[in-house]
Amino acid sequence: MNKKIAIIGGGLFGTTAYIALKRKGLNCTLFERNKDLLLGASTNNLNRVHFGYHYPRDDQTAKQSYYGYVSFKKFYKESIIKNFKNFYLIAKNSKVNLNDYLKFCKRNNLSFKLIDKSKIKFNLNNIQGGIEVKEPIYDWDIIKKKTKTLLKKLKNNKIHLGENIKKIRKLDSYEITSNKGIYNFDIIVDASYDQSNSLNKNVKKKNKNKYQLVVVFEFIPKNFKKMGLALMDGKFFSFLPKGKQNKHLLYHVKHSIIKEKICNEFPSNWKNIKKYNSIIKNSKKMMLKDLKKYLPDTKIKFTNNRYINPRVLPAYMEKSDKRISKINEISKDYFQIFSAKIDHSVDISKELLKKIK
């Protein structure tokens, strides 16, 4: 097979796909708009390796998460970290009650230990109960090093950094216009995440997505060491260790959202982050208030680091927590990756290889 393949987007999905296809001898070129790979939305999340505990209202997502871990662990095994306590708690006003959550875990073969609130070292308020799990995290710095090592081992790398794709047209082949030139490719793999709908508008009718601009805060715990905790299931918070560091990352389903809109493309006027400083400051305040509501003894110190990134979700999915990663062939030889969770990236690259070959 000598067809020319363009992979657009150098996040973990695009870079992993590029490595997988190049290993099979395929003629690939990777385009990334930033000055280096793995600098976009891939970097800004809680680093959770999903086993499925996070999705009690969708068994399909739970199963994809667990099976995705098997492949992800083989590919990025050096980055996996397990040596910390990890809890999933059910609030009294959660969308799922504790008994149903335990049934969900058993139904999906997710192992857990039911917690005894009287024996936990921190006080809990407004909590039905919860479980302790052995769900790991990944260290993003190690993933970046591993990826760079894998790329160096490939022959004839074609990686265009700092090159932003502006337009794609379907002619006899696909014509790509960037800020640096015009190219022709036989196959398109769109792993650009928030750019996808703006890139394919000359190829297919655009579908609506829910676009968000979200903030993740970094903090240092004062009265506990490494610990993961997710308050389920609703507009609550999660925090996890930041890899091997003694820092944690905090995300809130409600208060992390700076902007949100259901539309055809990621709104370009959201890119000026400075105008949202007051919203971000209030978000931090509301998150801390929520932490105290459920974990009254919690003592944390926010660092100056906060991570702002786009998030893309299926539109009109409020009744479900489905977060499936998938590949859509939106036109002949035009593949669009809809990425949900980082740890699905290796399985998606395998699926892509099958579709292309």
Distance of alpha carbon 294 from alpha carbon 292, whole angstroms: 6
By the 8 A CB rule, do 178 and 46 touch?
no
Report DSSP state, residue 19: H
Domain harbouring 122, CATH code: 3.50.50
Distance of alpha carbon 314 from alpha carbon 323, whole angstroms: 8
Listed residue (48, 44, 38, 49) closest to 144, CA to CA: 38
Rg (CA), the chain: 21
The pLDDT assigned to 97 comes to 93
CA angle 350, 356, 357 (to 5 degrees): 90
The pLDDT assigned to 319 comes to 66
Distance of alpha carbon 171 from alpha carbon 7, whole angstroms: 18
Which structural domain, as residue segments, surrounds residue 163? 4-356
**Number of structural domains in the chain:** 1
The pLDDT assigned to 314 comes to 83
Distance of alpha carbon 337 from alpha carbon 61, whole angstroms: 16
Distance of alpha carbon 92 from alpha carbon 94, whole angstroms: 6
The pLDDT assigned to 1 comes to 64
The pairing of strands 334-338 and 326-331 is antiparallel
The pLDDT assigned to 42 comes to 66
pTM of the full structure: 0.92
Per-residue pLDDT of the chain (357 residues; tens, 9 = 90+): 689 999 999 999 999 999 999 999 999 999 999 999 998 766 668 899 999 999 998 899 888 888 888 899 999 999 999 989 999 999 999 999 999 999 999 999 999 999 987 777 788 999 999 999 999 999 999 999 999 999 999 999 999 999 999 999 999 999 999 999 999 999 999 999 888 888 887 787 777 889 999 999 999 999 888 999 999 988 999 999 999 988 999 999 999 999 999 998 899 889 888 899 999 999 999 999 999 999 999 899 999 999 999 998 888 766 677 888 999 999 999 999 988 888 899 999 999 999 998
The pLDDT assigned to 120 comes to 77
161 CB-near residues (< 8 Å, 6+ apart):
10, 32, 34, 35, 36, 37
Q: Is the peptide bond before 233 cis (omega within 30 degrees of 0)?
A: yes
Distance of alpha carbon 240 from alpha carbon 226, whole angstroms: 8
